[in-house]
Amino acid sequence: MQKSELSFWQLWNISFGFFGVQIAYSLQSANISRIFATLGADPHNLSFFWILPPLMGIIVQPLVGKYSDRTWCKLGRRIPYLFLGSLIAIMVMCLLPNAGSLGLSIGGAMVFGLIALMLLDTSINMAMQPFKMLVGDMVNEEQKTKAYSIQSFLCNAGSLVGYVFPFVFAWIGLANTAPEGQIPDTVKYSFYIGALILILCVLFTTFKVKEMPPKEYAEFHGIDLEKQKKEKNPGFIALLKTAPSTFWTVGLVQFFCWAAFLYMWTYTNGAIADTVWGTTDVASAGYQAAGNWVGILFAVQAVGSLLWALVIPKFKSIKCAYTLSLLIGAVGFASVFFVHNQYLLFVSFALIGTAWAAMLAIPFSILTNSLRGDHIGTYLGLFNGTICLPQIIAAACGGLLLKLSGGAQVNMFIVAGILLILGAISVNFIKVNNKQ
């Protein structure tokens, strides 16, 4: 079957729901450290709270990929998982910011928050993965970089919205401080509005995107359905053994990149509260103001990423684009250590955005062009391990690295910069267009 090109708006519709999912994810990534620090977590233990999200991802996303590869119903192949994951995420987004308002002890609030975080990230992972699979399912090789760049654009647009919510709500007059151990209204209402947008975006995708039925899908990907029925569905280990080399080389780059960003999400609030606002007291107005400013800085990162996502497709060499993006991001990370002005930090985080744009668009484009269509969902789910595993390792090591680096949270940005440089070096090992 000839793999026809899709129009811009067809590519746009495939990924539009990612806008809502990313709002949920950005609210989580920008506010988790703030929430748990407010509940009473020790800074040296803060990174441990970040183990749960990637741990859920490494479990859930391969399962979503594996079972969606063999799913077909009225809603499609991938969309049922997207819909279910989003519904769970919406419910949890209304519960998590209330962890400190239920009359529980500090320990009880922590446990409640951890359970809510686990469920939230499980559901976000369940909702997020289908969008990457839809591109792999429906877009030809020549358009995949463009399709993932559109997805990167929408991802960053969603991030931008989610990141600025607390700042905007504080600006319009919602309380940005709360009694000790409770979460401010600015954060609570950010999660509520984010949940509303998420369900609207998912409904849009559900009604606008029509997945290929099994026969058409098989023709598009060159799959022999009769042979597939006779073959035993291979397990995860078997697929990993036969994975193309690209899976592992891109995964190596992913390892360094996602470890770097885990440290950014974990330590930005404490770092700028200390270096810009001059406080480490989590109950202080300065710390909460820094928390809102983190959202603004992450929004600047998203804008930088949005702009850079438009540039990436113009590179003749995708490896060159990948390497340059990570190196620019490394400069951005390292510069945070030296900048103590809240507005000058815009430059640092805009530079970090170039690395983020590349991480969202390039790995999946390279990988899906190296895969056959019969197990693409499972492979993309397994590939999520290259996102989740480095975060788990980085989170487990975060407290130790923080101690070894002197205890100041801003020092972790130097560590993040070094990790991105290692990622840029690792790009050299990737062989592009290694179709297997």
SS3 sequence of the chain? CCCCCCCHHHHHHHHHCHHHHHHHHHHHHHHHHHHHHHHCCCHHHHHHHHCHHHHHHHHHHHHHHHHHCCCCECCECCHHHHHHHHHHHHHHHHHHHHCCCCCCCHHHHHHHHHHHHHHHHHHHHHHHHHHHHHHHHHCCHHHHHHHHHHHHHHHHHHHHHHHHHHHHHHHCCCCCCCCCCCCCHHHHHHHHHHHHHHHHHHHHHHHHCCCCCHHHHHHHHCCCHHHHHHCCCCCHHHHHHCCCHHHHHHHHHHHHHHHHHHHHHHHHHHHHHHHCCCCCCCCCHHHHHHHHHHHHHHHHHHHHHHHHHHHHHHCCCHHHHHHHHHHHHHHHHHHHCCCCCCCCHHHHHHHHHHHHHHHHHHHHHHHHCCCCHHHHHHHHHHHCHHHHHHHHHHHHHHHHHHHHCCCCHHHHHHHHHHHHHHHHHHHHHCCCCCCC
Tens-digit pLDDT profile for residues 14-30? 888 889 988 988 888 77
Tens-digit pLDDT profile for residues 219-250? 776 766 666 565 666 677 777 787 788 889 99
pTM of the model: 0.72
Tens-digit pLDDT profile for residues 298-345? 889 988 988 898 888 888 888 999 999 999 999 999 999 999 999 999
**Is a pLDDT exceeding 50 seen at residue 436?**
no
The CATH architecture annotation of domain 8-429 reads: Up-down Bundle (1.20)
